[in-house]
Amino acid sequence: DGGITQSPKYLFRKEGQNVTLSCEQNLNHDAMYWYRQDPGQGLRLIYYSQIVNDFQKGDIAEGYSVSREKKESFPLTVTSAQKNPTAFYLCASIDRNSNQPQHFGDGTRLSIL
């Protein structure tokens, strides 16, 4: 079955370290997204990418970076510049040429040690 795989499920980071969250999809979707979820804040858009080698900042991009070298992969790096990285991170994708909703991964919970 096609879907989105996020790994790892739980991730711990020491202060001052960069960490990369993986997101892979085998749905052949063009567009991919990263969201951050905090209690009471809903899902906030970090970055999204409509096509390979292109991406746009969302509403809370500061302290994060992404790459889109392959259609199926959209990794998110949480840099040391992100002062409050503890959160639940969700990756999603869509087929840009349809009205279908987003497919979501199961998420990664990032915590600071």
Partner 1 sequence: AQTVTQSQPEMSVQEAETVTLSCTYDTSESDYYLFWYKQPPSRQMILVIRQEAYKQQNATENRFSVNFQKAAKSFSLKISDSQLGDAAMYFCAYRTNRDDKIIFGKGTRLHILP
User: What residue ranges bind partner 1 (CB under 8 A)?
Assistant: 31, 33, 35, 37, 40-45, 48, 50, 56, 58-59, 88, 90, 92, 94, 96, 99, 101-102, 104, 106-107
Smallest separation (angstroms) from partner 1 to the CB of 67: 18
CA distance 58 to 15: 24
Nearer to partner 1, 28 or 56 (CB): 56
Q: Please tell me the distance from the alpha carbon of residue 109 to that of residue 37, in angstroms, as a whole number.
A: 10
Q: Closer to partner 1 at the Cβ: 3 or 18?
A: 3
Least distance from partner 1 to the Cβ atom of residue 6, Å: 11
Of 18 and 41, CB closest to partner 1: 41
b/e per residue 53-75 (b: at least 16 CB within 10 A): eebeebebbeebbbebeebbebb
Phi first, then psi: what are they for 34, rounded to 5°?
Answer: -125, 130
